[in-house]
Amino acid sequence: MDPIPLVVVGTVAYDTIRTPMGAVSEALGGSATYFSLAAALFTRVGLVAAVGEDFRDEDRQLLVDRGVDITGLQTYPGESFRWVGEYHGALDEAHTLETRLNVLTQFDPVLPPTYRAPEVLFLAAIDPELQLRVLDRLERRPRLVACDTRDFWIEHTRPALLRVLERVDCVLINEGEARLLAGDHNVVRAAQAIRRWGSFDLIIKRGGYGALLFQDASVFAIPAYPLEDVVDTTGAGDSFAGGFLGALLREPTRVRKALVLGNVVASFTVEDFSVRRLATLTWSEVWRRYLEFRDVVRLEDL
Ligand code: AMP
């Protein structure tokens, strides 16, 4: 069997979400789910995650149908990870009402043989101790290791998270998490503080305001794709990361193009609840919106 080029470790979850546009209960979610569905538009992606015996066959099938390799999806006795959250106003910030770790407390992320030498590894939001364990289980260091986290892990497992930051090439977090991590409300100062914990490029996702890339001494900013109807922003960050790293794997030197493609994939995710939009998204839809986005940000020559 060929090695899998892009591997993600993270959560596969059942989410209960309320937004001003409606609500869903026990809908498929999780950081690794959104990431892998987005990345599968670009490349072969393998998912390492834990689910409980309650994980639905139709959800497993959806991942397979979309081309995600689920050899690394492990089933444990008990219930899948659950997250309950809500959004207000412009849906820029998720408010966690409940996090039930369930099978995550037993999860030992075993890497199937084809997952041990990926070109790119994404440590999606999950317990940083598990992110570290995955790094220790690789046969060789990937060309690129990137990570994300969430408020929950910043608050509960900060020392382990700082050890993860020392070992990655790229960190993707949202603005609220950057502020929480750095203890500074100014996003540029927060970025500077966070970058002192390692030697990585930093991408700060700013919801409806786009994203910032801090790389070496430069900053690159992109706006969000202007959308009329935003239904549920859950998973936007992970879809962004999936599109970004999937595109970067195909064209390693085109970081800005990859960022825009990540942004475009995320813009589809937020058009519906859960993974509904990602479940039907096609490459030609992504490409069409990418071309539109280029027009949106085109500057006149000086
Ligand atoms: P985001 O892309 O940041 O909106 O992440 C969305 C997903 O994160 C949801 O589908 C949740 O199931 C998942 N999630 C919520 N809390 C956590 C957590 N503490 N660790 C990992 N994933 C989480």
The response to whether residue 232 sits with its C-beta less than 6 Å from ligand 1 reads no
Name the residue at shortest CA distance from atom 12 of ligand 1. 30
Inside any domain, residue 116: yes
The response to whether residue 34 sits with its C-beta less than 6 Å from ligand 1 reads yes
Q: Could you tell me the distance, in angstroms and rounded to a whole number, from the CA of residue 241 to the centre of ligand 1?
A: 13
Q: Could you tell me the distance, in angstroms and rounded to a whole number, from the CA of residue 193 to the centre of ligand 1?
A: 24
Higher pLDDT, 208 or 158: 158
Q: Could you tell me the distance, in angstroms and rounded to a whole number, from the CA of residue 30 to the centre of ligand 1?
A: 5
**Rounded-to-integer distance, Cα 250 and Cα 57, Å:** 31
- Model pTM greater than 0.95? yes
Inside any domain, residue 222: yes
| Average pLDDT of the residues of the chain | 96
Place of tokens 């990540």: 262
pLDDT digits (tens, 9 = 90+) for 15-45: 999 999 999 999 999 999 999 999 999 999 9
Angle between helix axes 187-195 and 175-182 (nearest 10 degrees) is 60
Inside any domain, residue 302: no
Place of tokens 């820029």: 92
Is it the case that residue 9 has pLDDT exceeding 80? Answer: yes
Other Cβ atoms within 10 Å of 53 Cβ, number = 11
Residue of 34, 37, 83 best suited for mutating to test ligand 1, as the one with most atoms within 8 Å of CB: 83
Other Cβ atoms within 10 Å of 228 Cβ, number = 5
- What pLDDT, on the 0 to 100 scale, is given for residue 302? 78
Name the residue at shortest CA distance from atom 5 of ligand 1. 235
Length of the chain: 302
The response to whether residue 29 sits with its C-beta less than 6 Å from ligand 1 reads yes
Mean pLDDT of 282-302: 93
Inside any domain, residue 140: yes
Are the beta carbons of 239 and 38 closer than 8 angstroms? yes
Place of tokens 């706006």: 223
Name the residue at shortest CA distance from atom 2 of ligand 1. 235
Inside any domain, residue 79: yes
Residue 67's Cβ-side half-sphere holds a number of Cα atoms within 13 Å equal to 16
pLDDT digits (tens, 9 = 90+) for 71-120: 999 999 999 999 999 999 888 889 999 999 999 999 999 999 999 999 99
DSSP string computed for 208-220? GG-EEEEETTEEE
Inside any domain, residue 66: yes
Is it the case that residue 160 has pLDDT exceeding 80? Answer: yes
Mean pLDDT of 157-171: 98
Mean pLDDT of 39-52: 98
- What pLDDT, on the 0 to 100 scale, is given for residue 92? 85
Please say whether the dihedral angle defined by the alpha carbons of residues 55, 86, 230 and 154, taken in this order, is positive or negative.
Answer: negative
202: left (phi over 0), alpha (psi -120 to 50) or beta: beta
**Rounded-to-integer distance, Cα 78 and Cα 81, Å:** 10
**Domains held by the chain: number:** 1
Inside any domain, residue 11: yes
The response to whether residue 235 sits with its C-beta less than 6 Å from ligand 1 reads yes
Is it the case that residue 1 has pLDDT exceeding 90? Answer: no
Q: What CATH number has the domain bearing residue 290?
A: 3.40.1190.20
Q: Report the Cα 17 to chain-centroid distance in Å.
A: 18
The response to whether residue 87 sits with its C-beta less than 6 Å from ligand 1 reads no
Inside any domain, residue 301: no
Q: Could you tell me the distance, in angstroms and rounded to a whole number, from the CA of residue 148 to the centre of ligand 1?
A: 10
Residue 28's Cβ-side half-sphere holds a number of Cα atoms within 13 Å equal to 22
Residue of 11, 79, 245 best suited for mutating to test ligand 1, as the one with most atoms within 8 Å of CB: 11
Mean pLDDT of 145-154: 96
Locate the ligand 1 atom nearest the alpha carbon of residue 152 and give its number: 19
Residue numbers of the domain that contains 64: 6-296
